[in-house]
Amino acid sequence: MDYEIKHSGKYKYVEEGAGEPLVLLHGLFGALSNFKDLVDYFKQTHLVIIPLLPLYDLSLIETSVSGLSKFVYKFFEQRKLRNVHLLGNSLGGHVGLVFTLKHPELVKTITLTGSSGLFENGMGETYPKRGDYNYVQKKTELTFYDPKVATKELVDEVFNIINNRLKALKIIALARSAIRHNLGDELTEIKQPVCLVWGKNDTITPPMVAEEFHKLLPTSELHWIDKCGHAPMMEVPVEFNAILSGFLAKHKS
């Protein structure tokens, strides 16, 4: 992604376009490139913001879903963000839900795609095999329906993360925090409109997870994308953007 990474205090973020704010929260291995097509499309109609979550920069005690939610709140305060359309993929969806439960007055709508918070099969629940490139490649390919979406650049990025011992420990801490921090009992408190966009072939947060989210979130709508895995905005961006565009149009001020 060729977008400029901006700095404000301790925060780094991408900010493109103008209009109602659309804030994107990435997952554990969520490179900015994952959102390229989404940003290109929605910067025409929205102020698209991607805060870089400090996955590896918090203390080990703060390295949790709640710790990231607190970071997002401080970022919102710094940027004076209100009435936000919040979108989260994977761990980012989980962080967005925790954030919304704590600060509902700041969030206008929520979009979740492959979100954790109820159940997930992740790379992080066991110590990754450091140094085994083929293992990392196969695990990265499992993120997608079409393994070719896992480019060498993407696999290299994941490989470099888990071969850094401290980063690998932080990944494990976040994955375990996500598993412990189950939101099943709290989701009925969320009153904002929720758009669930799920790959029918997601093996990390399988279809039954989307169905459970749909059941527990009283104002949710569920959209399936066939031949798609855990990152629809990356694997099938045209279809994903069309669904999201329709949802945001319904909730425009």
Query: Where do the domains of the chain lie?
Result: 6-118+182-250
| CATH number among 3.30.70.3340, 3.40.50.1820, 3.30.70.360, 3.30.1550.10, domain 6-118+182-250 | 3.40.50.1820
The token pair that represents 57 in the structure block: 């920069």
- At 124 the pLDDT is 46
* pLDDT band for position 1 (cuts 50, 70, 90): low
Higher pLDDT, 139 or 192: 192
- At 121 the pLDDT is 67
Task: Answer yes or no: is pLDDT of 194 > 60.
Answer: yes
Task: Please state the pTM of the whole predicted model.
Answer: 0.93
What tens digit of pLDDT does each residue of 87-119 get? 999 999 999 999 999 999 999 999 999 999 997
* pLDDT band for position 165 (cuts 50, 70, 90): confident
- At 132 the pLDDT is 84
Are the CB atoms for 140 and 150 separated by under 8 Å? yes
Among 210, 15, 46, 191, CA closest to 108:
191
Euclidean distance between CA atoms 242 and 140, whole angstroms:
26
Torsion of CA 105, 106, 108, 109, to 10 degrees: -110
